[in-house]
Amino acid sequence: MLLIPCPWCGPRAESEFACGGEAGIVRPGAPDAVSDAEWADYLFMRTNHRGLHREQWWHAHGCRRWFIVRRDTVTCRIDGVEKMGSAGAAP
């Protein structure tokens, strides 16, 4: 079982969390001003690379807060966590 270290609650089982996908994706400022292709790129295209990756996680069955997890996608080893909006949470 993967233990995820929630910044507020401490290490908890993965089953308490929901993954929100890749972190650092910026929503277009004016959605009506972008083309369908640009909007589709924002909604669906992700890097999906091997190695260290930043993901958004939600502690659904705990404090109900969102935070960033730096996780290796090959080994599932967690390198660290960041609170949303912290200096280290920038893309």
**Is the Cβ–Cβ distance between 6 and 82 less than 8 Å?**
no
Structural domain range at position 49: 3-89
Strand 10-13 with 78-83, pairing: unpaired
Report the number of distinct structural domains present in the chain: 1
- The predicted model scores a pTM of 0.83
**Residue 84 maps to which CATH number?**
3.30.2270.10
Provide the sign of the torsion angle of the four alpha carbons 10, 12, 18, 22, taken in this order.
positive
Digits of tens for pLDDT over the chain (91 positions)? 899 999 999 999 999 999 999 999 988 888 889 999 999 999 999 988 899 999 999 999 999 999 999 999 999 999 999 999 876 554 4
